[in-house]
Chain A
């Protein structure tokens, strides 16, 4: 990791600061309230790679993605044969479910909101509490969980092995590897790597299309990254609007002995009590309600929560404090977040092999 050295030009110095997820240098050096203009080289760290990274042994291929898509949309994998990954990760709701918290097996109300899978492929850690390291690790988790899809793996493998369409699809996608938990996870992960948001008005503005965002949205971006104003980028950092980190954001639900411990259940460090992973904000306008407990109905509710410095102060992330924001500035921040929605091709549904 490079550190800015003597003799490095101002722009380059600024660029390295942003690429590496900090904003201080820009906030102090740029014009117009601390943010350079559309297309400025120093902003390019906000652009995501065109395609997400993938692990060795699971390079995305057409066959793997197609198989993963079938598995993702197939309710027959669940215990009752009526829930697919897409039941909760529904493309009609920004790959979430539009509910405050998820509904699982037998319609049980679960305690956390369904996170979107948009850009999950760019995350370096998965789940609200970070208990899964990557998409392959995560993909079969909901199948295995009794309160979620409650899959009977023995019955599921029998079904897949007897289904000639699936047998052929697995063999094409993973020749010689068979039908097992690993190949199921790899295929679903390959499909999830295609669910990407990296072509929003914000991205086009960063690339130099100065008309891609409205003046209000540009103002919102400046507030978003300004440590003295919104301070949002302290956690929602470039390029995927997440630091892949864990923070207690002071929600009302974090009070009391029965509060969800979040990350603390896996790393018993005081600051992690009630801490959850910073979600991406890409396509965020499509994924209401918000927060891990679904307690904010709108993006303005979210901004209001942070503006007052959170509800519950115990174990509150030290990055969160009361903010000095006018009504107009709050609206600007919301307008900016609405500029993070990408143009997407319509989602087509796969034909599932009947037998």
Chain B
């Protein structure tokens, strides 16, 4: 069964969700993530979409979850599923002032 989960922050959109796992979207625009902090559940997926006219490279070196989504241009996205509870710091390798935290509950 699918359902739509509404998130208070306008820039944060739920694309699709199932009864057990939701999908969130975090965009990169004007050299910033659309949210500084995101609370999700174990098993949820986050879609990172570049809305800038130049490349971004989303990654995390957190103990809980390490990933490097590589560089991708405007309009493209990559998804990450978070399968353990804890805190994940997400950054852009190219623009170090871009930081956000994902709290996986």
Contact = CB atoms under 8 A, between A and B. Distances in A.
Interface of A: 1, 3, 20-24, 124-125, 130, 227, 234-235, 243-247, 263, 267-272, 275, 317-319
Given A227-B53, A269-B57, A271-B70, A243 B95 contact: yes
Nearest to B97: A124
A245 B52 CA distance: 14
Interface residues of B, number: 22
B77 interface: no
B11 A319 contact: no
A130 B57 contact: no
B93 A267 contact: yes
Contacts of B32: 1
B29 interface: yes
Contact of A24 (B53, B71, B95): B53
B92 to A, nearest CB: 8
B62 interface: no
B97 A125 contact: yes
Interface of A is mostly: loop
18 contacts: A1-B29, A20-B30, A20-B31, A21-B31, A23-B53, A130-B96, A243-B95, A244-B95, A246-B94, A267-B91, A270-B70, A271-B57, A271-B71, A271-B93, A272-B93, A318-B55, A318-B71, A319-B54
A15 to B, nearest CB: 13
A124 B93 CA distance: 15
A23 B53 CA distance: 8
A1 B97 contact: no
B55 A317 contact: yes
Nearest to A25: B53
Contacts of A235: 54
A227 B11 CA distance: 26
B97 A244 contact: yes
Interface of B: 11, 29-32, 52-55, 57, 59, 61, 68, 70-71, 73, 91, 93-97
Contacts of B30: 1, 20-22
B49 to A, nearest CB: 14
Contacts of B55: 317-319
B97 A3 contact: no
Contacts of B53: 22-24, 227, 234
Given A23-B53, A271-B71, A318-B55, A247 B94 contact: yes
B66 to A, nearest CB: 10
Nearest to A21: B31
A245 B94 contact: yes
Most buried by B among A234, A247, A317, A318: A318
B11 A3 contact: yes
Nearest to B91: A267
The 4 lowest CB-CB distance pairs between A and B, nearest first, are A20-B30, A269-B93, A24-B53, A234-B54
Contacts of A1: 29-30, 32
Nearest to A268: B61
Contacts of B91: 267
Contacts of B93: 246, 263, 267, 269, 271-272
A300 to B, nearest CB: 25
A125 B73 contact: no
Contacts of B11: 3
Given A267-B61, A271-B71, 4 more contacts: A22-B30, A244-B95, A275-B94, A318-B71
A269 B73 contact: no
Contacts of B96: 125, 130, 244-246, 267
A271 B97 contact: no
A271 B94 contact: yes
Nearest to A263: B93
A182 B64 CA distance: 35
Contacts of B70: 270-271
Contacts of B71: 271, 318
